[in-house]
Structure 1
Amino acid sequence: QTWSPQDGLRSRLRRRPIWLLREAVPPEVAEAVVAAASASGGRLFNRDADSVDGAPTDEIVLLRDGRLTPTINVEMAPLLYRVQSVFERVNAYVKVQLRCPACLVCTSLLRKYGAEVSSRSGIGVHFDEKALATAIVSLDAQQNYVGGLMVQPSAARRSRRLVHMEQGDLVLHSYDLLHGVEVRRGARHSLIMWVSSDAAACESHSLAWKLRDARRGTVHAQYQLGRAQIFREAPGGASMGWRWLKRAAQLGHEGAQLNFGLREMEQGRLHEARRWWVKAFRG
């Protein structure tokens, strides 16, 4: 199914807000960005393994930790010139929408999807766990491809919706929204921007905002923080991570309930494991 702002998805997302800004980027700017990215015949696109699915990324890193990619390759210069005006527009927008005067675009990628231009037809639904929020600009006319950005407000696949985006439209969503891309025909280019809470957090990769939200009772922050501590990706230790995960499970987070059920099973508490899995299934 296709989602549009009139469908009321935002209200069903509870703590998973999503905003859609039409014509955030003029079509001629979007076209110029795609042309600059494609001028090299594809040489600018990286083929490294993606962290989500292991397939080639087919992406160009434009901004990392708040710094533009060094123009070692002269073919990058026109592209970097074109995207800077987009970063400025998005920075202004996120400061208002997130009510966060210090927020800024920290890292940005340009990706392509579809058999006409890439070996990648999409990417499975996932969370952007290192970003406070994610901004995505569609760079192609909608009639050039079939498919696009998908959002999924719950663990249930039936909640998945396709977001209708025209060229230059911007979607901004919070870190607790499952999302992915599926392009069944044609070619789609998108500019992806990961937003950080401030310049210092961007440069240091700090997730202080996640700890703040967890303490305030945001269940997905508790879930992500717990997982990060369990897997030694954040300070605090595994025991603290399991406490956060249990708290999120108690507050109804389906992913936390599934994971905590596995923990109970590993500890030999099969009845408790089954209880958590039933809760997760019932949503």
Structure 2
Amino acid sequence: NSFCTLLAAVMIAPALAVFTCLAVVLPVYGDDLRIFDGFTPFQLPEASGAEPPIEVQRGATEWPTFADGSSHASTLFRLGGVVDATSAADVIQALQAEAFQTDLDSVDGAATHQYWLYAYNRRQYEPSKAREFVNRTLGAILETRITPIVRALYPRAEELQPCFSFIRRYKDTERTRHPTHFDVQSHTTFIVSLNNFGDDYTGGIYVATGDRVQDRRYLSLKAGDGAVHQSDLLHGVHVPSGTRWSWVVWFAPGRCDADSTEWHRSQADTQDPAAASPLHQFLLARRLQAKLEDEGRNADDARASAEPWLRRAAEAGFARAQNEYGEALRQSGDNAGAAEWLEKAADREPAARYNLGLVRLAEGNDEAAVSLFDSACRDGSPDACFNMAVAHSGGKGGLDRDTAAALDILRRTDTPEAMLFASELSDSDQDLERASVLGSPEAQYRLARKLLSGGQQRREEGLRYLERAARNGHRGSQQTIAALKRAKAKRPTQGYGDL
């Protein structure tokens, strides 16, 4: 069998195609956790009404000059003690025993492990004393402190409105990473660390101007410290050790249901080509595609409508756009056109090297593909790391067959797909459980089947995994639950374990 055949056998192609376009996660080969040191003192506008006074610092990530000669700086602010440390600690304590949502994240498809407080367009969440306490505590701070500060920092004719509010938790037994991304769903984002960088966890939120590991700079935030930025800031999260708790609020101008494509149009579609921003053209493409899909357009049509903006950003030299445009060409079957764009982006975008590796794979050049996968994996592409594990496990692309090396890569990559493949290579329940916790519906289904054949406690746990996989769209889990319900209806005095 060819390397292509082996990849097809183990990769979940539709999901990976989406991940490739969206984000890149921490690589197998480490991260030295460099701190962002670009902050300088900033005077908070009086309109913020912040009492007591807050220490504010301003910083920016400076993007490399684009091919068209333009440049871009993404601004962020650091606010010391915007939430008092006592309130932050009380929120963490209140949520210790609460169940966090494990819906799949729109960025990387992994389980979110977040706790929704408010979403303008969603149902009310399950009431509890903890949720009531946290909403009351943080709601007051949001109304009287954070919202006025955000409006003062980013004054607009249409005032910024808080539209989404949630708690994120990162820990080694759950999620430890969130890929490098732009907040496409938010115009302005406010983040508050609820515990201490360095003492309670290492790593945390980082900012970047590309997806290479060396591009990342971490924010040192103590309990109650905040950071605020707009959606042009590329950022992500990695927590190598400890547990990180954060509170996130997404703001939008005017109304929460306003057309988000208008947020960038003036900077993307200016009459003066020299003044157009490639980054805003890219974000306009992203938001236009998301908007059309939300309106019911199929994914191919939505991508086609957004493609002119993506191409304009790519032609201007924005590497992330060059990668995504090249990948769109590859998926359409134009490997030659794809390679041209992917080669332009390969230096700054590990995902471009991964996608270029797929082009070489299609051409039958396995060794060139593996070389690109190896380079991209070392620089930050989880998909490339996955393919390196495939190559090691099958002895492809000039590598010796080495299951131990494959497992080492997969376990350090630590994505749902990587851990599912690790469980297949190792036949390990521990790897299967890790894939399930990370959000793999297939792993959840397989683990549930094993647990349902055990004792009562194991059966209850298995049913929870089965229901989680079903909620995440796993067809086999949905069918199994339906069969269990039908059987239970026939024998109502017996439990699931008797079926």
Alignment of 1:69-218 (within 5 A): 69=124, 72-88=127-143, 89-100=145-156, 102-115=159-172, 119-142=174-197, 143-198=199-254, 200=255, 202-203=256-257, 206-216=260-270, 217-218=276-277
Q: Corresponding residue for 2:95? A: 37
| Other structure's SS at 1:278 match | helix
Residues 132 and 209 in structure 1, CA contact (< 8 A), matched pair in contact too? yes
The AA in structure 2 aligned to 1:17 is T
Q: Which runs of 5 or more structure 1 residues have no equivalent in the other structure? A: none
Residue aligned with 2:232, SS: coil
AA aligned to 2:90 is A
Name stretches of at least 5 consecutive residues in structure 2 with no aligned partner.
1-33, 41-57, 64-71, 271-275, 296-300, 349-499
Distance 1:218 1:32 in 2: 43
AA of the residue aligned to 2:133: P
Amino acid at match of 1:129: V
Q: Shift of the alpha carbon at 1:259?
A: 2.3
Task: Verify the 8 A CA contact 2:98 2:130 in the aligned structure 1.
Answer: no
Aligned with residue 76 of structure 2, among 7, 18, 31: 18
Q: What TM-score do the two structures reach when normalised by structure 2?
A: 0.50
Rounded Cα–Cα distance in structure 2 between residues aligned with 1:2 and 1:104: 31
Separation in structure 1 between the aligned mates of residue 286 and residue 257 of structure 2, nearest angstrom? 22
Evaluate the alpha carbon distance shift between residue 9 and residue 93 of structure 1 in structure 2; reply closer, same or farther with a 3 A threshold: closer
Asked if residue 243 in structure 1 is aligned to residue 302 in structure 2, the reply is no
Q: How does 1:53-72 map to 2 (within 5 A)?
A: 53-65=108-120, 69=124, 72=127
Mapped contact 2:195–2:222 kept (Cα < 8 A) = yes
SS at match of 2:89: helix
Structure with larger RCO (C-alpha < 8 A, sep 6+): 1
CA distance in 2, matches of 1:9, 1:274: 36
Is the 8 Å Cα contact of residues 94 and 104 (structure 1) preserved in structure 2?
Answer: no
Counterpart amino acid of residue 247 in structure 2: L
Q: Determine the structure 1 residue equivalent to 2:35.
A: 2
Query: CA RMSD of the aligned region, Å?
Result: 2.8
1:67–1:160 Cα change, 3 Å: same
| 1:166-208 superposed Cα distances (whole Å, 9 cap, x missing partner) | 111111122122222112222211001111112x2x1356443
> Could you list the per-position Cα deviations for residues 194-235 of structure 1 after superposition, in whole angstroms to 9, with x for gaps in the alignment?
11112x2x1356443133442242322311332444563378
Structure-1 separation of matches of 2:266 and 2:168: 31
Relative to structure 1, is the Cα distance of residues 87 and 66 closer, same or farther in structure 2, using a 3 angstrom cutoff? farther
Structure 2 counterparts to residues 216-235 of structure 1, below 5 A: 216=270, 217-230=276-289, 232-233=292-293
**C-alpha contact 2:60 2:76 (8 A) present in aligned 1:** yes
Partners of 1:50 and 1:269 lie apart in 2 by 30
Contact map agreement 1:30 1:168 (CA 8 A) in 2: yes
TM-score normalised by structure 1 residue count: 0.84
- Tell me the distance in 2 between the aligned counterparts of 1:68 and 1:81: 18
Contact 2:184 2:287 in 1 (8 A): no
Question: Distance between the aligned counterparts of 1:230 and 1:103, measured in 2?
Answer: 23
Contact 2:322–2:345 (8 Å) recurs in 1: yes
Higher strand content, 1 or 2: 1
SS in 2 for 1:222: helix
Q: Which amino acid aligns with 1:108?
A: S
* Cα displacement (A) at 1:11: 5.2
Corresponding letter in the other structure for 1:153:
T
Query: Structure 1 residues 275, 237: closer, same or farther in 2, change over 3 A?
Result: same
1:51-72 CA-to-partner distances (Å, cap 9, x unmatched) read 2233332211111128894663
Moved more, 273-282 or 234-243: 234-243
Report the number of matched residues: 275
Could you say if the C-alpha distance between residues 75 and 155 of structure 1 is closer, same or farther in structure 2, counting changes exceeding 3 Å? closer
Identity in percent: 27
Q: Report the structure, 1 or 2, having the larger helix content.
A: 2
C-alpha displacement of 1:255 = 1.4
Question: Quick one: structure 1 residues 54 and 267, their matched pair in 2 at CA, closer, same or farther if it must change by over 3 Å?
Answer: closer
Equivalent pair of 2:261/2:287 in contact (CA under 8 Å)? no
Indicate if the aligned counterparts of 2:116 and 2:125 stay in contact, CA closer than 8 A. Answer: no
Residues 72, 16 of structure 1: alpha-carbon distance in 2 compared, 3 angstrom cutoff: same
1:254 corresponds to: 319
State the one-letter code of the partner of 2:346.
Answer: F
- Find runs of 4+ consecutive structure 1 residues off by over 6 angstroms: none
Shifted more, 83-92 versus 236-245: the winner is: 236-245
Q: Relative to 1, partners in 2 of residues 1:126 and 1:245: Cα closer, same or farther, differing over 3 Å?
A: same
CA deviations 1:95-131 (Å, max 9, x no partner) are: 122222511221011011113xx51223222221111
